Amino acid sequence: MIKICYIITKLELGGAQKVALYTGANINKNIFESILITGVGGVLDDEASKKFKVFQLKNFAREVSPLKDLRALFCIYSILKREKPDIVHTHSSKAGILGRIAAKLAGIKVVLHTIHGYGFNETQKWYEKYLYVYLEKSCASISNKLIAVSKEDVQKGLKYKIAKESKYTLIRAGIDTEFYKNFNQNPNFRKSLGINNNIKVITTIGAFKPQKNLKDFVKAASIAFQSVKNVVFLIVGDGQERGELENLILNFNLKENILFLGWRTDIAEILKISDIFVLTSLWEGLPCTILEAMCCSKPVIANAVDGVKEIIVESKTGFLIELHNYKKTAEKIIYLLTNPSEIESMGKNALNSIGQEFNIDYTVKQHEELYLQLIKPDGNVKINFV
């Protein structure tokens, strides 16, 4: 039995978390055993604890805190020494740094990291950015493989000399494509949210943090609402910027038209009643929310960042927007709402564009093959995808 320890900072309702949990829960149990190290207070904590052994660390948090980070590092190291996994697989930037350092100190022979977008980006101060570049480069040197969910992240890694090309492998962040494509909508779901049938719905999903840039979503909504009145904007998620977003919505007098739904597990229901999906992130890896929206036949308006550019075809499945151009985002929302035939045709194109490479079960099989190749590098490993 090959024991794999997954490490992720916090079990929010995000793409990285979904991939880590699904992989750990659905990997071949005749070959692999899964355990998980994470922080506390995540939406998916209970779900994870039902699927495999979970270690929750109170000092393991996304915010940078030297003292807490050091304590978290020691706790992760202690767990690894005790559990003795054959493989450590980290997800997300913070977990990727602390988890890989702890794995090295604990003498773990196989260490992998999945890049769901790098911890450094062009919006940071130069010294902050290059600190993260240095940390990523240092941790890459103690990694057997770097798993990228987008080709863009491979190219960015090569640009900043994080690692040689041979160390990267591409495994998409998958979703349950068949579930979303074949989901049967509850006819009363609109009513449960208080939304009439004649109202158009624009949706975004994400944690209320700087990366997701939800202020631009609110600004775009305020402009679009001046031209199209029979519309409601839904924001699914929660987080540190909630107060700022609430104040911004009050300033625009849109309290009745922009609804906070909080963290939800009925994403398919929400996407099915939506007309358009919008994502205003400043950086991403490969956002599962866009894949889910496209599988629900929704056109997508999103900032042209990282893996987003690999799944949206301009004017065919949606629109790509340059960073912070919320006026252009509003323009495209208005265009689609006033051209319903475009919503329908783009939605169909979006649905048809999502193939097997984005299926989560295929993602799991790719992980299984990679794990076995790294544990038994001389073996001829191939797991058939059904």
3-state secondary structure of 106: coil
Tens digit of each residue's pLDDT (9 = 90 or more) over 157-168: 999 999 999 999
- Specify whether 60 is located in the same domain as 204: no
pLDDT of residue 175: 95
- Specify whether 166 is located in the same domain as 209: no
* Tokens standing for residue 289: 């929310």
- Within-domain flag for 370: yes
- Specify whether 297 is located in the same domain as 207: yes
Query: Which contiguous run of DSSP H or E holds residue 205?
Result: strand 200-205
Instruction: Reply yes or no on whether the pLDDT at 99 is more than 70.
Output: yes
* Burial label, 340 (beta-carbon count in 10 A; 0-12, 13-18, 19+): exposed
Mean pLDDT of 183-206: 96
- Specify whether 122 is located in the same domain as 252: no
Mean pLDDT of 225-242: 95
* Burial label, 301 (beta-carbon count in 10 A; 0-12, 13-18, 19+): buried
- Within-domain flag for 270: yes
358 within 8 A of 175, measured Cβ to Cβ: yes
d(CA 165, CA 151): 11
- Specify whether 156 is located in the same domain as 204: no
Read off the CATH number of the domain in which 211 is found: 3.40.50.2000
CA-based nearest residue to 207, from 15, 8, 7, 6: 15
Q: How many C-beta atoms lie closer than 10 Å to residue 230's C-beta?
A: 10
d(CA 275, CA 295): 13
- Specify whether 217 is located in the same domain as 124: no
Q: How far apart are the first and last CA of the chain?
A: 23
Please count the structural domains in the chain. Answer: 2
- Specify whether 163 is located in the same domain as 305: no
- Specify whether 159 is located in the same domain as 222: no
Instruction: Enter the DSSP assignment of 212.
Output: G
368 within 8 A of 362, measured Cβ to Cβ: no
Residues spanned by the domain of 146: 2-174+359-375
pLDDT of residue 379: 52
- Within-domain flag for 382: no
pLDDT cut 70: percent of the chain above it = 97
pLDDT of residue 386: 38
* Burial label, 196 (beta-carbon count in 10 A; 0-12, 13-18, 19+): exposed
Sign, CA dihedral 305-334-274-311, equals negative
Tens digit of each residue's pLDDT (9 = 90 or more) over 269-314: 999 999 999 999 999 989 999 999 999 999 999 999 999 999 999 9
Query: Which contiguous run of DSSP H or E holds residue 112?
Result: strand 110-115
Q: What's at 62, amino acid-wise? A: R
